[in-house]
Amino acid sequence: MTRILGIETSCDETAAAVVARDGAGRGTILSNVVLSQLKDHAPYGGVVPEIAARAHVNHLDRLVAQAMAEAGLTYSELDGVAATAGPGLLGGVIVGLTMAKAIALAHGKPLMAVNHLEGHALTARLLDDVDFPYLLLLISGGHTQFQIVEGVGRYHRLGTTIDDALGEAFDKVAKLLGLGYPGGPQVEVQARKGDPRRFAFPRPLKGRKDCNFSFSGLKTAVREAVNDLGLLTDQDVADVCASFEAAVAETMADRLTMAVHLFRAAHPAVENPALIVAGGVAANQKLKAVFEQAAERFGLRLIVPPPKLCTDNAAMIAWAGAERLALGLTDDLSVAARARWPLDETQAPVYGSGKLGAKA
Ligand code: KG4
Ligand code: ZN
C-alpha cells in the first residue's frame, strides 16, 4: 500500500488530495479538496493567469493541510508527493510544483512530476478495473484530444484540435450570446429549449480520415448567425445553442467512429476496449448520448468518471503519481515546470496549433 499526496495548480482550481494504491493496483481516495477560482475570473470572461497564480499562492498551503487532515495522515506517513508539472499556466504550475518539492525535500519522500493530461488519462484506473490499452477522449476548456493509453507514460495521440478546444468553443458561443462564464453548462440549458435544426452550422472536418478537431469555423458561423439576427429573443438564443450543440454532437460522433477504427487497427486483439471520456465537457448530456450510442454500436466499455473527478482535481494527480511510483518513475528535485507538454512527445504538433507547438 502506498499513500500519495497530490497537488494541482495548472489552471483555475487550487487542489490537494491524498490517494492510496494497494498492491493489486486498486485505488482509494482518502481526501480530495478543490478550491475553484471561478468567481475571481468570471468578471473577465476567462482565466487571468496572474490572478490564478496569486490565488494558488494564497490558498495552497491551507488546502494541503486540509487534505492531509482529512486523510488522517502526517507527512512522514506518506510514500511520495506528486504535483502537476505541466502543461498549464506556468505561474500556477510553479506554485504547486515548488510546494511539492519542498514537502518531498523536508520529509525525504520521492517526488513525481505529473503531466496534468496523464492525470486525466489514468483516472479511470483509480475508479475501475481498467486494463491497458484503452481509448481516451479528453474534452475540457484547454484540451480536445483522442489518445490510445498504452500504459503509464506511454501514449499514442490519434487526434487533437487544430485551433480551439471544445470547452473553449462552448465558452465563446456563450459569450457571443451574453450568457455567463463558464459557458458550457449555460449553453446546454438553453439548448434544451431550442430548435437544433433552425441553423445549419458546419460540421467541421466531418468525413476526414483522421480524428483531429477544428472548432473555429463553427464559432465563426455562430457569430455570423448572431450578427444577422441583430436583437436576440430568448428563442433565438435557445435555437442558436441547440443548433451549435447539434453540430458538435454530429462532429463528435463522426470523429469517434474514426478513433475507434484507428484503435482497432492498432490493437485488433482487444475485444471490448474501454472508452474513457474525461474533462468538463463530458458533463454535457447530449454528448453523453453520443458516447453511449457509439459504445453500443462498437462494443466499447464506456467510462465517464463522475464530474468531481472529470474536471480538474488533485486526486487524479496523486493517482498518476502512485502509478508512476509503482513503476519507479520518480523525478529529481531539479525537474522544471512546463507550459507545454504533450502526452505523446513523438508526434509533431498539428498544423495550425501555433508557433509554440500544440497546446496539448
Ligand atoms: O475540465 P474542466 O473543468 O477545466 C479545464 O478546462 O481544465 O473543463 C471546463 C470546460 C469549460 O469550457 C466549460 O464551459 C465546459 O468544460 N463545460 C461544458 C459543460 N460543463 C462544463 N461544456 C458543455 N456542456 C456542459 N454541460
Ligand atoms: Zn484538466
Q: List per-residue pLDDT tens for the chain, 360 residues long.
A: 999 999 999 988 899 999 999 999 999 999 999 988 888 887 887 788 888 888 888 999 999 999 999 999 999 999 999 999 999 999 999 999 999 999 999 999 999 999 999 999 999 999 899 999 999 999 999 899 999 999 999 999 999 999 999 999 999 999 999 998 889 999 999 999 999 999 999 998 888 888 999 999 999 999 999 999 999 999 999 999 999 999 999 999 999 999 999 999 999 999 999 999 999 999 999 999 999 999 999 999 999 999 899 889 999 999 999 999 999 999 999 999 999 999 998 876 665 444 344 444
Which residues are bridge partners to 22 per DSSP?
none
Q: Which pLDDT value is given to residue 351?
A: 53
Mutate to test the pocket of ligand 1, among 115, 161, 281 (most ligand atoms within 8 A of CB): 281
Cβ-defined contacts of 217-224 (< 8 Å, 24+):
218/169, 218/244, 218/247, 218/248, 218/251, 219/164, 219/169, 219/172, 219/173, 222/173, 222/176, 223/176
Q: Which pLDDT value is given to residue 166?
A: 97
Query: For residue 84, which ligand has an atom nearest its CA?
Result: 2
CA 249 to chain centre: 18
How many CB atoms within 10 Å of residue 24? Answer: 6
Ion ligand 2 neighbours (CB, 5 A) are 140, 312
Torsion of CA 195, 200, 204, 206, to 10 degrees: 90
Q: Which pLDDT value is given to residue 356?
A: 41
Q: How far apart are CA 157 and CA 144, in angstroms?
A: 11
Q: Which pLDDT value is given to residue 8?
A: 96
Contact criterion met (CB below 8 Å) for 156 and 344: yes
**For residue 275, is it left (φ>0), alpha (ψ between -120 and 50) or beta?**
beta
Q: Which pLDDT value is given to residue 46?
A: 77
How many CB atoms within 10 Å of residue 305? Answer: 22
pTM of the model: 0.92
Between the CA of 321 and the centroid of ligand 1 the distance, in Å, is 24
Between the CA of 103 and the centroid of ligand 2 the distance, in Å, is 24
Pocket of ligand 1 (CB under 6 A): 11, 140-142, 167, 170-171, 182-185, 188, 279-281, 283-284, 311-312
Q: How far apart are CA 20 and CA 29, in angstroms?
A: 6
Mutate to test the pocket of ligand 1, among 140, 171, 187 (most ligand atoms within 8 A of CB): 140
Cell of 191: 439548448
Give backbone dihedrals phi and psi of 312, rounded to 5 degrees, phi first: -65, 135
Give backbone dihedrals phi and psi of 235, rounded to 5 degrees, phi first: -70, -35
Between the CA of 140 and the centroid of ligand 1 the distance, in Å, is 5
Q: How far apart are CA 17 and CA 14, in angstroms?
A: 11
| Positions of E strands within 80-153 | 80-86, 111-115, 134-139, 144-151
Mutate to test the pocket of ligand 1, among 36, 170, 245, 291 (most ligand atoms within 8 A of CB): 170
Contact criterion met (CB below 8 Å) for 37 and 12: yes
Between the CA of 342 and the centroid of ligand 1 the distance, in Å, is 20
Contact criterion met (CB below 8 Å) for 159 and 212: yes
Query: For residue 165, which ligand has an atom nearest its CA?
Result: 1
Q: Which residues contact residue 324 at a Cβ distance below 8 angstroms, ignoring those fewer than 6 apart?
A: 82, 112, 114, 152, 153, 330
Q: Examine residue 133 and say whether the peptide bond preceding it is cis (omega within 30 degrees of 0).
A: yes
